Amino acid sequence: MENFPYLFSAYAIVWIVLFVYLFSLDRRGRRAEHDLEELRKLLRAKEAK
Amino acid sequence: MKRLGSWTGRLLPLLVGPGMLGSLYLIFMVVPTERVQGIVQRIFYFHVPAAWAAFLGFFVVAIASSLFLWSGRAAYDRVARAAAEIGMVFCTLVLLTGPIWARPIWGAWWTWDPRLTMTMILWTIYAAYLLLRAFGGAEEAVARYAAVLGIVGALDIPLIMISVRLWRGIHPSVITARPGEGGLADPSMRFTLLFTGLCFVLLFAWMLLVRLRALRVEDEIEAVHSRIHPA
């Protein structure tokens, strides 16, 4: 099992980077949808005046 | 089109999840250990598909940017922005996993081999593209400059592909190796690489759909903002 730490590090890095990016994608998507809903409410309130 | 997007958006994670698990099974339980490099050669099965996904991403940037310059439609610009970001994620993985393989095999984390250098240039070009998109503002002129950069950057990809042969670099040629030059000798090695490559392409497609959805919402926010606060 010579060089196992290299193999382990490479696969660990790939999974960490992919999970962090997928998590950030999900978070940004949710935040954008939340912001859009808030803005729509604001717009409806403004147009009702 | 929207319905097709939501349908594939649901299907892709169902394919990617088991696909990635299957890849790991093939890489660690099925393929034989390479005779010369030992277990560290197994890094290739993620390193090479990550490179394919990165190239695919930047190729999509070039196509979408060309269509944006030609038609001026914001939807193409959104595809280019999303693909550049995801291409960068995969290109970063290539540049991280490559040196981890190189250290025990070449005895150095990094050498200025033509393929490595060209890949670093590719990463730098698209880093500049993303910085331009992040800090350049929302004007159409910025989108047009970025589109040109996105197209020019993709011209580096064929150079990376041929760099090993063109400049006689030390980087291994896995796919285009001729008989007797190494490459993947065992059929299970080739199958595993192709299978993992397919999984990475599907992962790229899924990420692209998710990012595109968020970008569409961000553009809608911008439109609603301009209705509330007209310039």
Neighbours of B200 (CB within 10 A): 26
Residues for chain B: how many in total?
231
Residue B130: exposure state from Cβ atoms within 10 A (0-12, 13-18, ≥19) = middle
Nearest Cα to Cα of residue B46 among A5, A18, A22, A26: A18
Distance from the A20 Cα atom to the nearest Cα atom in chain B, whole angstroms: 10
Length of chain A: 49
Residue A33 banded pLDDT, cuts 50, 70, 90: confident
Q: Are B110 and B170 in contact (CB under 8 A)?
A: no
Report CB contact under 8 Å: B217, A14: no
Domain count, chain B: 1
Show the CA angle centred on residue B21, arms to residues B60 and B106, nearest 5°. 70
Domain-located, residue B37: no
Question: Do the domain assignments include residue B78?
Answer: yes
CB contact under 8 A, A29 and B207: no
Identify which of B107, B32, B46 has the alpha carbon closest to the alpha carbon of residue A8: B46
Identify the residue with better confidence: B221 or A15: A15
Question: What is the pLDDT at residue B125?
Answer: 97
Considering only CB atoms, B104 lies closest to which of A3, A25, A36, namely: A3
Concatenated DSSP letters of B186-222: SHHHHHHHHHHHHHHHHHHHHHHHHHHHHHHHHHHHH
**How confident is the model at residue B151, as a pLDDT?**
97
Cβ–Cβ below 8 Å for B46 and A10: yes
Contact B100 A26 (CB under 8 A): no
Of B43, B100, B218, the CB nearest to A32: B218
Domain for residue B115, yes or no?
A: yes
The residue of B40, B48, B92, B196 whose CB has the most chain A CBs within 10 angstroms, and thus the best one to mutate to test that interface, is B40
Tokens read off for B99? 């040196």
CA of B40 to nearest chain A CA: how many angstroms apart? 5
Q: From the CB of residue A7, how many other CB atoms can be counted at a distance below 10 Å?
A: 21
Q: In B, which residues are within 8 Å of A9 by CB distance?
A: 100
- Any B CB within 8 A of A41 CB: no
**pLDDT tens track, chain B, 231 positions:** 556 567 777 888 899 999 999 999 999 999 998 888 889 999 999 999 999 999 999 999 999 999 999 999 999 999 999 999 999 999 999 999 999 999 999 899 999 988 999 999 999 999 999 999 999 887 889 999 999 999 999 999 999 988 877 777 777 766 555 555 556 778 899 999 999 999 999 999 999 999 999 999 888 888 877 777 765
Q: Which pLDDT score is estimated for B83?
A: 97
Residue B21, chain A, CB below 8 Å: the answer is no
Question: Per the CB < 8 Å rule, is A22 touching B207?
Answer: yes
User: So what's the pLDDT on residue B130?
Assistant: 96
Cβ–Cβ gap A25/B207 under 8 Å: yes
Q: How far is CA B58 from the centre of its chain?
A: 7
Give the domain range for residue B96.
2-31+42-228
CA within 13 Å, CB half, B153 = 36
CB atoms within 10 A of CB B36: 7
What pLDDT shows up at residue B223?
80
Nearest to B109 by CA among B99, B119, B121: B99
CB-based contact, A2 to chain B, within 8 Å: yes
SS3 B38: strand
In three-state secondary structure terms, B71 is: helix
